[in-house]
Amino acid sequence: MKIFEWSFSENFELNEEITIVLGTFETLHLGHYELIKIAQDLKNTYPQQKLAIMLFSNSYKNLFNNEKKALQTKIRLFTLFNLSFDYVFLVDINKDKLATSHADFVQNLKLNGIKNVVCGPDFKFGFRKLGDIDYLKKYFNVYVANERKIQKQKISTSLIRELIMEGKINAINNLMIEKYAFITNLEKFKFKFPNNLLKLKSGIYIVNCVIADIEYHGLIKIGNNLEDEMDNEIYLFDLQLIPSKYEEVFIELEEAIRFINFNHENMITEFDIEVTKKWFLK
């Protein structure tokens, strides 16, 4: 999978016909999977075409109200790699890019060999969101995915964000293409929760963890001490060496054991460890 930094003006000189999935994709949930399935079906129909997706590395809302990400960019790229995309057009959004006209956006798609476009029913683009599906249809074959709902509620990034703040890992994992995860570094089994990431509710969570390509299992504490950014801890079974603080650690969450509401609850207990052991043995 190749990743291109895209500001809506580059000619990547790919010289190939491309199907692209358009959206911002702050998360990658089952609603988005409807788009991806259409794109994969097109790939099967036109195997000579390459499969691409547009991805915003940050939310456009971040420009105006410092909104934190729901998922790190690297986590989303891992998912897209697993979904067999050929290209990612990665957009680091800023005010200049938001000023790109809908006409210029379409012309750049044409310049880069886009033949098929897959998007959601409410997709809009360009300055003041003047571009819409009808405009895209003038230049491309356009395929529009249906919305996915759960209990009559649209599956959306906003819903995922609410669930993150509530610590509802089971619900999040049921709505995401891949399980909720983040990347950090360990310092003697303590870690910072990524500063640019929407913080998970304080609590104890069962996790899978990958360090230097080896998978471990255990639990983490997301602490409630707002004044100590290292008030987060990991406990892993069968880990014999302390990882380097420079080693990236991939932490995937499976389930919440309990939430931390008071200071005396702000620790990993033997009870938490036993619950985790039983969970992995079930």
DSSP letters of 17-58?
Answer: -EEEE-S--SS-BHHHHHHHHHHHHHHHHSTTSEEEEEEESS
Average pLDDT over every residue of 240-269: 93
Per the CB < 8 A criterion, the answer to whether 180 and 171 are in contact is no
Q: What is the pLDDT of residue 150?
A: 86
Position 13 pLDDT exceeds 90: yes
110, exposed or middle or buried, with CB in 10 Å at 0-12, 13-18, 19+?
exposed
Q: What is the pLDDT of residue 247?
A: 92
d(CA 188, CA 233): 9
Q: Look at residues 100, 91, 105, 106 and name the one whose alpha carbon lies nearest to residue 128.
A: 100
d(CA 231, CA 212): 24
Helix, strand, coil content of the chain in percent (nearest 5) = 30, 30, 40
pLDDT band of residue 59 (cuts 50, 70, 90) is confident
Q: What is the pLDDT of residue 48?
A: 95
> Which tens digits make up the pLDDT trace of 218-235?
999 999 988 888 999 999
Q: What is the pLDDT of residue 216?
A: 96
171, exposed or middle or buried, with CB in 10 Å at 0-12, 13-18, 19+?
middle
Position 95 pLDDT exceeds 80: no
pLDDT band of residue 178 (cuts 50, 70, 90) is very high
Per the CB < 8 A criterion, the answer to whether 139 and 110 are in contact is yes
Average pLDDT, the chain: 94
Position 167 pLDDT exceeds 90: yes
Q: What is the pLDDT of residue 62?
A: 65
Q: In order of start, what are the domains of the chain with their CATH numbers? A: 2-150 (3.40.50.620), 179-281 (2.40.30.30)
Per the CB < 8 A criterion, the answer to whether 269 and 231 are in contact is no
